[in-house]
Amino acid sequence: MKITKLKVNTKSQKYPILIGSKLISKFHKICDINLIKFKKCLIIIDSNVPKKLVLDLKKNLKNKETFLLFFKASEKNKNQKSIDNILKILLSKNFSRQDCLITVGGGITGDVGGFAASIFKRGLQFVNIPTTLLSQVDSSVGGKTGINSSYGKNLIGNFYQPKLVICDISFLKSLSKREIICGYAEILKHSLIADEKFFNYLYKNVSNILKLKSPFINKAIYTSCKIKKKVVEKDEKEKSYRKILNFGHTFAHAFEASLNYSKKLNHGEAVILGIISALKFSLQERTINFKDYQKIINHIDSSRLTKKIKKYFSEKHTKKILSFMIKDKKNNTNKINLILLKKIGLPIIDKAYYKNKLQIFLKKELVD
């Protein structure tokens, strides 16, 4: 069992990210090695996670007082009611801050569980076991936790770093191709904002990565996590540099919210559409050259990563999309902040635009 390890060093917490296969069966040993001690634990499990893997984890915790909460993960359940349900268990079972909350699931499960851990008695030990490719390469790294509101996505939340992240590749075998492509969206984003060599590796090996073949998937996860780790270490609380991770996401979050977080468009698919929109806007603003733009678009098209934006939206959606872009938490003026691309591996931070300019752009995208 080969385990690859990354160490995240933020001001608030230092913690390891472990990447490998069949790590769940070694969970107790991994906790001991990393000095994570607790008497009680609440395991919040995405209801989509295969039961065999859940049982493997529970067997490893037979000497602990263990409570299970199965969570139906969806953007609609990423809300205050879910937080209240978790807090009720923690309080009724008399958890202390020295006990532990463990999340087993995708990004939504980690976001909700992590947020509950952050506010319970001002901070409960938190271990994140992401089970989707999307959560392994993105949401599990960096400490962002939170829930949605009627005003938009992730507007209520906290920065709260876990004690440990375990990326067990064994979980990925249960995913659909659609879910794997969702994770690939964030891997692609990381290459575009930070590492042209990594983008070229993805361009060459995308087929093997999407088929979860080793060592291609291992390298993709490791390199993606490493890129995000470096960004988070430079700017844990998203004061400036960390904003590069939002490349494509101002569009993406607005797309999701405009469809009321429908299953018709999941987060990864929205991110790919957001990346395409950010690239087209970069080209319009002449920040990126056509050669780099075309190379990225060719990769997305040839890999069949998404449908065209007009499959989801028409001109009538323009105002709604724009209204959610304006509410984006990264805006601090009456303008909309966007991360654009100068070239592959080099983003431009904090370009701000009036809504009229983006309205014209969106209308053109949804009509032409």
**Are 205 and 112 part of one and the same domain?**
no
Side by side, the strands of the sheet bearing 14-20 are: 4-9, 14-20, 164-168, 125-130, 100-105, 40-46, 65-71
72 lies in which domain range? 4-173
**Are 168 and 76 part of one and the same domain?**
yes
What's the chain's average pLDDT?
93
104-144 pLDDT, tens per residue?
999 999 999 999 999 999 999 999 999 999 999 998 999 99
Q: How far is it, in rounded angstroms, from Cα 261 to Cα 311?
A: 16
**Are 107 and 242 part of one and the same domain?**
no
Last residue of a domain, one of 173, 191, 218: 173
Widest pairwise Cα distance in the chain: 62
The predicted pLDDT at position 9 comes to 94
**Are 251 and 329 part of one and the same domain?**
yes
**Are 14 and 135 part of one and the same domain?**
yes
> At 88, is the pLDDT very low, low, confident or very high (cuts 50, 70, 90)?
very high
**Are 129 and 211 part of one and the same domain?**
no
The predicted pLDDT at position 254 comes to 94
The predicted pLDDT at position 1 comes to 53
**Are 155 and 260 part of one and the same domain?**
no
What is the number of domains present in the chain? 2
194-224 pLDDT, tens per residue?
999 999 999 999 999 999 999 999 999 999 9
> At 368, is the pLDDT very low, low, confident or very high (cuts 50, 70, 90)?
low
**Are 182 and 318 part of one and the same domain?**
yes
Does the model's pTM come out above 0.85?
yes
162-190 pLDDT, tens per residue?
999 999 999 999 899 999 999 999 999 99
**Are 163 and 185 part of one and the same domain?**
no
Last residue of a domain, one of 173, 201, 232: 173
Average of per-residue pLDDT across 56-84: 91
CATH classification of the domain holding 162: 3.40.50.1970
Last residue of a domain, one of 173, 191, 226: 173
**Are 208 and 163 part of one and the same domain?**
no
**Are 152 and 191 part of one and the same domain?**
no
**Are 302 and 242 part of one and the same domain?**
yes
Q: How far is it, in rounded angstroms, from Cα 325 to Cα 154?
A: 13
Encode burial over 302-334: b for 16+ CB neighbours within 10 A, e otherwise.
ebebbeebeebbeeebbeebbebbebbbeeeee
Average of per-residue pLDDT across 17-21: 95
The predicted pLDDT at position 360 comes to 93
The predicted pLDDT at position 56 comes to 82
Q: How far is it, in rounded angstroms, from Cα 343 to Cα 289?
A: 7
CB-based contact 42:102 (threshold 8 Å): yes
Comparing 2 with 213, the larger pLDDT belongs to: 213
CATH classification of the domain holding 336: 1.20.1090.10
214 burial via Cβ count (<10 Å: 0-12, 13-18, 19+): exposed
Average of per-residue pLDDT across 294-300: 96
